[in-house]
Amino acid sequence: MRYIGNKTRLLTFILRTLEKERIAVGSVHDAFAGTASVSRALKSEGWRVYSSDLLMSSYVFQRAYVVADAADPLLKEMAGELARVEPKVGFISRHFSPAGGTTSAGRMYFTPENAGRIDASREALDAWRKERKIGDDDYYLLLAAIIEGADRVANTAGVYASYMKRWQPNARRPFEIAPEVPIKGAQPARAHLMDATEAARNIGEVDLLYIDPPYNSRQYVAYYHIPEILARGWSDMAPAIRGKVGLLAGEEGRSQWSHGRRVQRLFSGLLADSAARYALVSFNSEGHLKPEALESLLAKAAIDGKVSHFNQRYRRYRADSDREGRRYHADFALEHLYLVRLR
Is 307 a member of any domain?
yes
DSSP state of 233: -
Closest CA to 144 of 167, 121, 115, 168: 121
Q: Please count the structural domains in the chain.
A: 2
Is 47 a member of any domain?
yes
For the chain, residues with pLDDT lower than 50 are: 322-328
Q: Does 263 lie in the same domain as 236?
A: no
DSSP 3-state of 51: strand
First CA to last CA across the chain, in angstroms?
36
- Quote the radius of gyration of the chain (alpha carbons, Å): 20
> b/e per residue, 256-266, with b = 16+ CB within 10 A?
ebbeeeebeeb
Is 62 a member of any domain?
no
Say what angle helices 136-152 and 75-83 make with each other, to 10 degrees. 50
Q: Does 51 lie in the same domain as 101?
A: no
Q: Does 312 lie in the same domain as 165?
A: no
Pick the last residue of a domain from 254, 273, 303: 254
Are 65 and 39 contacting, i.e. CB atoms less than 8 angstroms apart?
yes
Q: Does 109 lie in the same domain as 22?
A: no
| Confidence at residue 87, expressed as pLDDT on a 0 to 100 scale | 97
Query: What gap in Å lies between CA 53 and CA 262, rounded to an integer?
Result: 18
| Confidence at residue 319, expressed as pLDDT on a 0 to 100 scale | 52
Is 230 a member of any domain?
yes
Q: Does 239 lie in the same domain as 289?
A: no
| Confidence at residue 325, expressed as pLDDT on a 0 to 100 scale | 46
Closest CA to 82 of 136, 130, 145: 145
Which CATH number characterizes residue 288's domain? 3.40.50.150
| Confidence at residue 158, expressed as pLDDT on a 0 to 100 scale | 87
Pick the last residue of a domain from 206, 235, 254: 254
| Confidence at residue 328, expressed as pLDDT on a 0 to 100 scale | 46
Q: Does 147 lie in the same domain as 265?
A: no
Q: Does 76 lie in the same domain as 224?
A: yes
Is 63 a member of any domain?
no
Query: What gap in Å lies between CA 180 and CA 182, rounded to an integer?
Result: 6
Is 176 a member of any domain?
yes
| Confidence at residue 277, expressed as pLDDT on a 0 to 100 scale | 98
Vertex 58 angle, CA 96 and 224, to 5°: 30
Q: Does 105 lie in the same domain as 150?
A: yes
Residue 137: domain span: 70-181+220-254
Q: Structure pTM?
A: 0.92
Query: Residue 271: in which H helix or E strand, if any?
Result: helix 263-273
Closest CA to 199 of 297, 273, 281, 283: 273
Pick the last residue of a domain from 201, 233, 254: 254
Query: What gap in Å lies between CA 311 and CA 305, rounded to an integer?
Result: 20
Query: What gap in Å lies between CA 54 and CA 145, rounded to an integer?
Result: 20
| Confidence at residue 95, expressed as pLDDT on a 0 to 100 scale | 97
| Confidence at residue 330, expressed as pLDDT on a 0 to 100 scale | 55
Q: Does 189 lie in the same domain as 160?
A: no
Query: What gap in Å lies between CA 121 and CA 118, rounded to an integer?
Result: 5
Is 3 a member of any domain?
yes
Are 104 and 115 contacting, i.e. CB atoms less than 8 angstroms apart?
no
Q: Does 128 lie in the same domain as 265?
A: no
DSSP notation for 89-133: --HHHHHHSGGGGGGGTT--SS-HHHHHHHHHHHHHHHHHHHTT-
Q: Does 225 lie in the same domain as 310?
A: no
Q: Does 341 lie in the same domain as 224?
A: no
- For the chain, give me the number of helices (H) and strands (E)? 13, 9
Is 65 a member of any domain?
no
Are 146 and 118 contacting, i.e. CB atoms less than 8 angstroms apart?
yes
